[in-house]
Structure 1
């Protein structure tokens, strides 16, 4: 692992704050995380909203699928109390709200936007995300990642300059061919891949490896002899001093 390994806050500082909320993202910026990771879906009325699950029960006091609820309805639900009463009235943010906030920061915070469309197909998700990134002039600060290969291919067709990353699990033997065919610039992988021979080959082939989700010092140190360039974690404060 490079001495210059960067730390991305997974769904914000989700170990200490309700995930994918402005509170979690702002806390990450306050401690100087190099980047934040967040998940994007589309509301019933076509708005880009930040939430991980396709249904809202786990992280709000509401019920239903994101795709079946308007932004106005989604904004009515409490997205913080499930984590702790101190975060009562946190709301589901939009991607626009997060990116507008990023532009106000005094340093270049990287935003890893994961397209959550591996289970539900969201019409024009790729176009909407790319358009917003362009409108806010954040092309150099955004990474778009997904498990959905068709989606990554579509991003490349829309804009070949925005960085894309392939998300995957385990150690797939064909991952380098897949990455090449999709024209992605990076691999978002588990520690087991970074530690493997294939991981070393990927690094030699020029693919940065961003490893998710590392939450213990033991797991962090297990990456010391790898070529991981980024560690994604729910507890970025644990690793920023290394």
Structure 2
């Protein structure tokens, strides 16, 4: 049982910076966060791009689905101005951009990559992500998570040792059984699951809990007491 929890910056330091941008990731590192959680979708030309929504409307000045644009087209969009005018000109990074930053000597962060393939099926996403991790020799610093259990099962078949977090919302009574079935080694959940009997049983069965998205500092003590491994927050500087 852990006596403290690691703090991951949810989509980077997204309480103060435009989410899923390099500015947000650098600020997260500067804040003292232990890790970063980010989201991967796939472009029309098969590039792995960092953005949470399947559509680009909310966090860029474009509109439409990520899958209908090439990365070159997406790279022309402003991914910062929606948050504040001072961030106008921020672009959507690729997963490789993030890896190039992650391997710099000063960077020791853990990276939780959420595969956003639970709504749109991105053919070959798992292979592309794993190949890139291999290219940069980052296996020890990466966690792959998804709401899509079959995608995670495929990840485990392709890679026997990489860390996998089964992602759930609310109190899923079958979470432990599914996690065991797909070869996950942790459960990524919300506070209510972590503090429930189901969360306790998962911990007792050897499945660490990584909890998202916790923005009330007052929640930290209960989560640490419950034995959670990671707290993901938009405000990591407050939790550190």
TM-score relative to the length of structure 2: 0.97
Residue correspondence of structure 1 range 158-177 to structure 2 within 5 A: 158-177=158-177
Aligned to 1:111: 111
Q: Is the 8 A contact 2:5 2:224 kept in 1?
A: no
Deviation (angstroms), 1:82: 0.3
Q: Is the 8 A contact 2:78 2:88 kept in 1?
A: yes
Residue correspondence of structure 1 range 69-84 to structure 2 within 5 A: 69-84=69-84
Deviation (angstroms), 1:27: 0.4
Aligned to 1:213: 213
State whether structure 2 residue 83 is matched by structure 1 residue 89.
Answer: no
Report Cα offsets for 1:166-198 as digits up to 9, x if no partner.
000122222111111011011000011111111
State whether structure 2 residue 113 is matched by structure 1 residue 123.
Answer: no
| Structure 2 residues not aligned, in runs of 5+ | none
Deviation (angstroms), 1:218: 2.3
Aligned to 2:190: 190
3-state SS of the aligned residue for 1:188?
Answer: strand
CA distance in 2, matches of 1:72, 1:156: 31
Q: What's the RMSD between the two structures over aligned residues?
A: 1.1
CA distance in 2, matches of 1:16, 1:68: 29
Q: Which runs of 4+ in 1 moved over 6 A?
A: none
Aligned to 1:139: 139
Report Cα offsets for 1:140-166 as digits up to 9, x if no partner.
000000000110010011111111110
| Structure 1 residues not aligned, in runs of 5+ | none
Aligned to 2:55: 55
3-state SS of the aligned residue for 2:150?
Answer: helix
Aligned to 2:239: 239
CA distance in 2, matches of 1:224, 1:164: 21
Aligned to 2:16: 16
Deviation (angstroms), 1:2: 3.6
Aligned to 1:46: 46
Change (3 A) 1:173 1:158: same
CA distance in 2, matches of 1:170, 1:58: 24
CA distance in 1, matches of 2:13, 2:166: 23
Deviation (angstroms), 1:200: 1.2
CA distance in 1, matches of 2:196, 2:19: 30
Deviation (angstroms), 1:221: 3.1
Equivalent residue pairs, number: 240
Aligned to 1:68: 68
TM-score relative to the length of structure 1: 0.97
CA distance in 1, matches of 2:87, 2:50: 17
CA distance in 1, matches of 2:104, 2:134: 16
CA distance in 2, matches of 1:224, 1:162: 25
